Amino acid sequence: MQSYEHTTPGILPCQSIEALIAGGAITSDTAFDADQVQPASLDLRLSDQAWRVRASFLPGQRTVEDRIADVAMHRIDLSGGVVLERGCVYIARLQERLSLPKGLIARANPKSSTGRVDVFVRLLTDRGASFDDVAEGYEGALYLEISPQTFPILVRPGTRLNQLRLKAGEPPKLETRSVGVELQGGEGSVVGFRGRRHAGVIDLDNIDGHDPRDFWEPLTLRRGELLLDPGEFYILASSDDVEIPVDQAAEMTPIDPSVG
């Protein structure tokens, strides 16, 4: 197993991710897309294999596919595109595979576009003890739990629902603060949107190909208030600007490929 020494702790930048791909620490069923490596993350893509399952699970001391055999309702071929219904739970194998060097861990999170259409996703690894975390030295396949909450979605091989960030060491803790909801404006001002419960299917690969009015209902202020109903999906603007430091990226230097 290859080892990597970090000169600065933190999240790996695109140059380090590309080096890991070139070195075989990150591989894929198909060629990587030109835009798949982001400034500090790697987009992960669905393969053609998925399962409808009865419930969410962690694999414990077993592989993901061993556990799927216990809870699967049926297998799904995503090759021609498949609609995933809201309120259901699916497990899909991802195209990417990891062989993490010593000194690196990884964590996955949903892409912002996935969150904006209320699709719940979590990464699974063989014998993983928690969702979304990839342990140091992990070697194996990656899987994604998918559960649409508000809209049915159309997916196919190559659809990107989550992303992976690789981390070296422990970066310094950043100060955190709460972010409020923007409710300023006159009577009748639009301050957010609510997902329409009986909207059509969202094709996640058809960027800018949907009319937002078919899926979102505008929300307006009444008497300076906004009432939220339980179980509904909302998108609201924050009352604060957010700035993320860009100097926390880690620089990685290979030291000895034979060390393992």
Which has the closest alpha carbon to 91: 128, 61, 116?
A: 128
**Banded pLDDT at 181 (limits 50, 70, 90):** confident
**Banded pLDDT at 144 (limits 50, 70, 90):** very high
- Distance separating alpha carbons of residues 18 and 132, to the nearest angstrom: 21
Distance of CA 162 to the CA centre of its chain: 2
Average confidence (pLDDT) over 181-188: 73
**Banded pLDDT at 92 (limits 50, 70, 90):** very high
Average confidence (pLDDT) over 215-225: 84
| Lookup result for tokens 């972010």 | 179
Write the pLDDT tens digit of every residue in 33-42.
999 999 999 9
Write the pLDDT tens digit of every residue in 148-179.
999 999 999 999 999 999 999 876 666 666 77
What 61-67 contacts at long range (C-beta under 8 Å, 24+ apart), as own/partner pairs, is 61/127, 62/126, 62/127, 63/126, 63/127, 63/140, 64/91, 64/124, 64/125, 64/126, 64/141, 64/143
Helix or strand or coil: residue 68? helix
Predicted local distance difference test score (pLDDT) of residue 133: 97
Looking at domain 3-173+243-254, which CATH architecture does it have? Distorted Sandwich (2.70)
- Kindly tell me if the per-residue pLDDT of 219 is higher than 50: yes
Percentage of the chain exceeding pLDDT 90:
70
Write the pLDDT tens digit of every residue in 190-210.
888 999 988 999 999 998 899
Predicted local distance difference test score (pLDDT) of residue 245: 57
Report domain extents, the chain.
3-173+243-254, 190-236
Q: Which has more confidence, 98 or 242?
A: 98
